[in-house]
């Protein structure tokens, strides 16, 4: 599947109707999501034929993209049941099979590498400090091949990203995350936030 076609399909997905600020819910837009999963597949062969988990899946964008690019099995995990309803509808609309689990990432009782690849756009940790690292820590425990994760570019210098037992941690590219005016405290109509696409090898 061509990148533009993937981006077009993701652009039709439903997004949060009532986002929750305490969960730092921001939609992963089609531009950034398509490039993230396309890179994982075409540069590293980490999607097609693999078992992929979408941590903090929200409306399911990364999981749907993984399925569209040939993942053998996709699991989406989120703490918010309303998001999972939207994600389930998005998967149904595009006729892709995804299993969804309602759980807090830190409460998952998973042991050892159970999936090939984890893809995620975790909370950036601006509301609850360290929440992005909770996601990363768990992802590195369950992935056998790779973890793809978006983090604010301002965290690039933090050595914490390398301190969770990863064999390697590499910034693949810097992307612009379009944050629309979703919450009352947002003063601007939209803001571009610089984010890094990381690839971690467990």
pLDDT at 174: 85
**Which domain CATH number covers 42?**
3.40.50.150
Per the structure, the complete domain to which residue 192 belongs is given by 3-15+23-179+188-201
Cα 178 from Cα 186, distance rounded (Å): 13
Higher-confidence residue of 165 and 5: namely 5
Q: Which long-range contacts (CB under 8 A, 24 or more apart) does 47-51 make?
A: 47/71, 47/117, 50/115, 50/116, 50/117, 50/145, 51/75, 51/114, 51/115, 51/116, 51/117
Quote the pLDDT of residue 153: 76
Residue 163: what pLDDT? 67
- Are 34 and 62 spatial neighbours (Cβ–Cβ below 8 Å)? no
- Cα torsion 110, 113, 116, 118: sign: positive
Res 117: pLDDT:
98
- Residues 26, 14: Cα–Cα separation, whole Å: 13
Q: For residue 183, what pLDDT is reported?
A: 43
Lowest mean pLDDT among 27-41, 109-123, 143-157, 169-183: 169-183
The CA-based dihedral angle spanning residues 97, 101, 102, 108, taken in that order and rounded to the nearest 10 degrees: -160
Which residue matches tokens 């936030």? 193
With contact defined as beta carbons under 8 Å apart, do 91 and 67 qualify?
yes
Number of folded domains that form the chain: 1
Does residue 46 or residue 167 have the better pLDDT? 46
pLDDT digits (tens, 9 = 90+) for 129-185: 667 788 898 999 999 999 999 887 765 534 445 667 788 888 898 887 665 444 454
- Taking only the tens place, the pLDDT of each residue in 51-99 is 999 999 999 999 999 999 999 999 999 999 999 999 999 999 999 999 9
> pTM value?
0.87
Q: In the prediction, which pLDDT does 182 show? A: 47
* pLDDT exceeds 80 at position 202: yes
Checking if the pLDDT of 201 tops 80, the result is yes
* CA–CA distance, 163 with 158 (Å, rounded to integer): 10
Residue 112, pLDDT > 80, answer no
């Amino acid at each position: 599947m061509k990148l533009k076609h993937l981006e077009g399909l993701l652009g039709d997905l439903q997004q949060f109707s009532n986002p929750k600020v305490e969960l730092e819910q921001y939609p992963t837009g089609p531009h950034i999501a398509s490039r993230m999963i396309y890179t994982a597949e075409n540069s590293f062969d980490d999607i097609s034929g693999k078992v992929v988990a979408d941590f903090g899946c929200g409306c399911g964008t990364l999981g749907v993209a993984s399925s569209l690019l040939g993942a053998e099995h996709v699991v989406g995990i989120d703490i918010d049941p309303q998001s999972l309803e939207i994600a389930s509808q998005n998967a149904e609309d595009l006729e892709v099979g995804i299993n969804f689990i309602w759980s807090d990432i830190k409460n998952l009782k998973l042991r050892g590498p159970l999936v090939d690849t984890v893809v995620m756009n975790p909370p950036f940790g601006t509301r609850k400090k360290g929440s992005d690292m909770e996601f990363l820590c768990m992802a590195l425990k369950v992935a056998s091949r790779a973890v793809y994760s978006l983090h604010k570019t301002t965290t690039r210098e933090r050595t914490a990203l390398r301190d969770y037992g990863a064999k390697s941690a590499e910034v693949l590219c810097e992307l612009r995350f379009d944050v629309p005016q979703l919450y009352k405290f947002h003063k601007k109509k939209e803001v571009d936030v610089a984010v890094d696409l990381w690839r971690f090898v467990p």
